[in-house]
Structures are given as structure tokens and as C-alpha cells.
């Protein structure tokens, strides 16, 4: 469990960095580190499928897409893309606490106490039967995040 805490602390640091850094390329670098650590958290929990998907989709696809869209930006004209004011922090806190609340509510209690092994076949079966709607919703939210990232990176037209 000791190594787990290292990963967790790294995840927190990297996710904070990916918000507060100013250079977009460095933000993407911290995102890469974040995805990597997440994948290893999954793998150390014996959830290889989730870990591999994390690596494959986020590292191989999303990060390269974001890197491409960064190339389209004009970084010298807009060095600070995000204006940091108190309103943003307030919104971020509310969104985070809401997200945490949903996550804590949605996790079944016994899974927190004991280790549950999920074989790949069972996982895929559940993915297309019971959890199809939530799966689709999650992908929809991710798509929204992608579009948001692209629009954020594009900057403001003068």
C-alpha cells in the first residue's frame, strides 16, 4: 500500500499543476503524468483493463489531439490563457465537491472495504447491459471536455 500513496500524492500534485501552470505545453506534460499515474493506480488494484484503456485512449489519443491543437494556437500573443479570479475558484470548488459527492454516493460500500476482482468478461458484459446508459453519458461528458479543451486552447480572436 505504501507505493499507492506515492501515486496518489503525485496525482494530486500533477492535477493541481495542470490547472495552475501557465505554459500550455507544461499543462499537457502534467496531464500525461496524471494519466500515467491513474493507469498505474488501476493496475495495482488488478483492474488491468481500465488501466490499459486509460493509457490507450488518453495517452495515445487525447493527449496527441491536444498537442496538435496547441500547435494551432498563438502562444506569444496570449501568454496567459486563463484569467484567475475568485469567481473561478468558487465555481471550481462547487463543481469539485458536487463531483466528489456523486462519486462517494455511487460507489457500493462493500467495495471500499474488501478487494473485489472483476474478470474482463464480466466487465464487458456489464458494460453493454446494466451500465450502458452511464457509459454513454460518461463518453458524452468526455466529448464535451475535449471540445472545451480545444476551444480553450484556441484562445480569443482579436
- Would you say 2 or 108 has its CB closer to another protein? 2
CB of 115 to another protein, least distance (A): 16
Grid coordinates representing 124?
464487458
CB of 104 to another protein, least distance (A): 29
- Would you say 59 or 146 has its CB closer to another protein? 59
Q: Which residues contribute to the site for another protein (CB under 8 A)?
A: 25-26, 29, 32, 43, 48-49, 51-52, 55-56, 59-61, 63-64, 67-68, 71, 120
Q: Judge whether 155 and 78 are in contact, CB under 8 Å.
A: yes
CB of 117 to another protein, least distance (A): 11
Amino acid at each position: 500500500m505504501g507505493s499507492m500513496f506515492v501515486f496518489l500524492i503525485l496525482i494530486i500534485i500533477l492535477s493541481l499543476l495542470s490547472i495552475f501552470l501557465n505554459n500550455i505545453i507544461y499543462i499537457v506534460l502534467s496531464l500525461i503524468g496524471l494519466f500515467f499515474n491513474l493507469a498505474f493506480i488501476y493496475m495495482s488494484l488488478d483492474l488491468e483493463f481500465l488501466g490499459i484503456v486509460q493509457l490507450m485512449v488518453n495517452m495515445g489519443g487525447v493527449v496527441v489531439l491536444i498537442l496538435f491543437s496547441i500547435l494551432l494556437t498563438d502562444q506569444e500573443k496570449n501568454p496567459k490563457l486563463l484569467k484567475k479570479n475568485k469567481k473561478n475558484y468558487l465555481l471550481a470548488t462547487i463543481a469539485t465537491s458536487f463531483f466528489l459527492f456523486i462519486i462517494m454516493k455511487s460507489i457500493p460500500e462493500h467495495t471500499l472495504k474488501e478487494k473485489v476482482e472483476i474478470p474482463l468478461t464480466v466487465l464487458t458484459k456489464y458494460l453493454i447491459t446494466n451500465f450502458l446508459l452511464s457509459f454513454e453519458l460518461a463518453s458524452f461528458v468526455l466529448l464535451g471536455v475535449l471540445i472545451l479543451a480545444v476551444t480553450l486552447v484556441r484562445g480569443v480572436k482579436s
